[in-house]
Amino acid sequence: MKTIYFSILLTLLSISIFGQIQKPQDFLSSDFHQERRAILREKMPENSVAVFFSNPIRNRANDVNFKYHQDPNFYYLTGHRQPHALLMIFSEKQSIKGSTFDEVVFVRGRNALAELYDGGRISPSQAVDDLKLEVAFETPEFKNFPIDFSKFDQVLFYDFEDDVRETSEEGDLYDLISQFKQKVNYPDENKLDITPEPQKNNLNTTLLDELLRPMRGIKTEEELDLLRKAVKISALGQAEVMRAMEPGMSELEVQGMHEFIYKKYKAEYEGYPSIVGAGHNGCVLHYIENYKPEIEDGELILMDLGAEYHGYTADVTRTIPVNGKFTKEQKAIYDLVYEAQEAAMSIAKPGVPFSDLYDTTLNIINKGLLDLGVVKSLNAEDLIDPATGRHRYYPHGCCHHIGLDVHDLGEYELLEENMVITIEPGIYIPEGSPCDKKWWNIPVRIEDDYLITKDGIELLSDDAPRKSHEIEELMKEKSAFGQFNLPALEEK
Ligand code: GLY
Ligand code: MN
Ligand code: MN
């Protein structure tokens, strides 16, 4: 008998140990999410309720969906990574269904068959124990949940995008949204006005963003740990690819090397579709086809990729000469972009307007393009492309927050301590541009990630060299990818 008990105990023990080692231990803590909810609650107006929905599942084709990604606000406030869920946060305690609480989550009900395919779902009691939410129910219970939204002065939520599919399962996101709309008398016609008239209803679809923006923009220590990891992984990927790069590789192969390195470091996703463009392709700002079968000797390749580690994403770009050596023209443009980035770095600190960073990079790039003779003057007719209305060669902004989103929620007025931002000037000269042909098909972006500190900035992505001669030096080194040979697909 004793032996049986002992072996049961051992099995239970090994299941629980096994359960623990199956999952990384360095996700954000439930205390982090709980604290975020408490801070949001403090900021909410009196007698209000904030309602959040999980992200929809996105269909790829037929019965195959894209890998699920939680809505960043939902994740920020709960740590819940599963679909079909609803969170309510109340400004004051509510007494409903015999208990008193100021937050409640609805998580998808159990379904043995669905879980056979997709893995275990979190139960309401796990939502309470593991996620530390005060009260939890299964989603089918929302329909008859006795809550009177009309008694609140304000019901805060993000307006709907109308892109949610109905499934056959009761209590899916489609049901939750429909039932919510019914409960709050959501107007029938398409979307609410941006600023709903308070006398008409108590629905407010803009305030949550105003409340969450400053919170999400200032990172806590726990968030910084994850961001630092995501950025380091991405920069190490850039450095390794610099060693491995050779003419004749395909853009997809280069993308694959970066992404393999992310996975090797256990980063789950890419924070956005990877951009790998050689020559002319690098001039397409969000080029994600990465189709070029053979990158040519003499070309530059622009690689804008970011690892997402436990929800937090980096955003790092390097532009390198495929054959290891910049041409004279490539180097001139590269060094100009580098100078612009350095100048923005040198002024970045708390209190400086975000817009100063862009203005600094723009002034240097304009002056440099004029000195090099790429533009004839700094008049609008030489600098602005009439087709796009943008700067002909530097057509994008230079800085944004990163975090749970690559273009993260945050304030864009003044820099503040513990913001994490990019500085990413670029010059792109597509074929056919009104300048000497020798400049054509030169795309350069240098993008790094920075923590704003008490009195300056910390460069987080310094594992990947930025200076042109340092890149050339590193490209002389060998990479393990050089030994990675596979059989040909077709007999030659
Ligand atoms: N990777 C997108 C961006 O740089 O903003
Ligand atoms: Mn960026
Ligand atoms: Mn980028």
Q: Which pLDDT belongs to residue 474?
A: 98
pLDDT tier for residue 152 given thresholds of 50, 70 and 90: very high
pLDDT digits (tens, 9 = 90+) for 432-457: 999 999 999 999 999 999 999 999 99
Distance, CA 447 to ligand 2 centroid (Å)? Answer: 7
**253 alpha carbon to ligand 2 midpoint, in Å?**
22
Q: Where are the alpha helices (DSSP H) in 107-206?
A: 112-118, 124-129, 173-183
DSSP 250-315: -HHHHHHHHHHHHHHTT--EESS--EEEEGGGGGSTT------SSPPTT-EEEEEE-EEETTEE--
Please say whether the beta carbons of 308 and 230 come within 8 A. Answer: yes
Task: Please check the confidence at residue 23 and state whether its pLDDT lies above 80.
Answer: no
Pocket of ligand 1 (CB under 6 A): 272, 304, 315, 406, 424, 447
Q: In this structure, which residue's CA is closest to atom 3 in ligand 1? A: 315
The arithmetic mean of pLDDT across residues 109-118, rounded, is 90
CA of 226 to the centre of ligand 3 (A): 18
Going by pLDDT thresholds of 50, 70 and 90, the confidence category of residue 490 is confident
Q: Give the number of the atom of ligand 1 that is nearest the alpha carbon of residue 447.
A: 4
- Nearest CA among 451, 246, 470 for reference residue 345: 451
The ligand 1 atom at the shortest distance from the C-alpha of residue 305 is: 1
CA of 445 to the centre of ligand 3 (A): 9
Confidence of residue 162 (pLDDT cuts 50, 70, 90): confident
Say if CB 252 and CB 113 are below 8 A apart.
no
CA of 10 to the centre of ligand 3 (A): 49
Per-domain boundaries in the chain: 2-213, 219-483
pLDDT band at 477 (very low <50, low <70, confident <90, very high): very high
What separation in Å is there between the alpha carbon of 304 and the centre of ligand 1? 7
Tell me the pLDDT tens digit for each residue of 284-309. Answer: 999 999 999 999 999 999 999 999 99
Q: Phi/psi of residue 305, each to 5°? A: -140, 155
- The one-character DSSP state at 83 is S
pLDDT at 427: 98
- pLDDT-based confidence at residue 195 (cuts at 50, 70, 90): low
What does CATH list as the number for 219-483?
A: 3.90.230.10
Give mean pLDDT, residues 124-130.
Answer: 95
Mean pLDDT of all residues in 372-377: 98
Residue 104, burial from CB neighbour count under 10 angstroms (0-12, 13-18, 19+): buried
**Probe target for ligand 1 pocket from 270, 275, 428, 461, with the most ligand atoms within 8 Å of CB:** 275
Quick one: which atom of ligand 1 is closest to the CA of 275? 1
The region of weakest confidence among 13-27, 209-223, 353-367, 408-422 is 13-27
Query: Which ligand is closest in space to the CA of residue 402?
Result: 2
Kindly state the DSSP code that residue 201 receives in the 8-state scheme: -
Asked whether residue 189 carries a pLDDT value surpassing 90, the answer given is no
Q: Which atom of ligand 1 is nearest to the CA of 400?
A: 5
Question: Rounded mean pLDDT of 7-26?
Answer: 52
Residue 218's pLDDT is what?
98
Of 319, 347, 341, 336, nearest to 422 by C-alpha is 341
Q: Between 354-372 and 328-347, two packed helices, what is the crossing angle to 10 degrees?
A: 150
Q: How confident is the model at residue 491 (pLDDT cuts 50, 70, 90)?
A: confident
Find out whether 304 and 315 touch, Cβ atoms under 8 Å.
Answer: yes
**Rounded mean pLDDT of 225-253?**
98
Ligand 1 atom with minimal separation from the 407 CA:
5
Ligand 1 mean position, distance from CA 75 (Å):
22
Question: Any idea which of 14-23, 217-226, 246-255, 382-391 has the lowest mean pLDDT?
Answer: 14-23
So what's the pLDDT on residue 192? 53
Averaged over 379-391, what is the pLDDT? 96
Strands 203-204 and 154-156: parallel
Of 398, 405, 406, best ligand 1 pocket probe by most atoms within 8 Å of the beta carbon: 406
Q: Is the pLDDT assigned to residue 355 strictly greater than 70?
A: yes
Partners of 101 in the β-ladder: 94
Q: 60-64, 199-203, 289-293, 356-360 — which is least confidently predicted?
A: 199-203
| CATH number of this structure's domain 2-213, picked from the four choices 3.30.360.10, 3.40.350.10, 3.90.420.10, 3.40.50.300 | 3.40.350.10
231 within 8 A of 314, measured Cβ to Cβ: yes
Higher pLDDT, 489 or 189: 489
- Rounded to a whole number, what is the distance in angstroms from the first to the last CA of the chain? 68
Phi, psi of 320 (to 5 degrees): -135, 155
Residue whose CA is at the smallest distance from ligand 1 atom 4 = 315
Residue 472 has pLDDT above 70, yes or no: yes
Phi, psi dihedrals of residue 319, rounded to the nearest 5°: -125, 125
CA distance 401 to 315: 10
The conformation of residue 121, written as its DSSP 8-state character, comes to P
Please report the pLDDT score of residue 188 as a whole number: 65
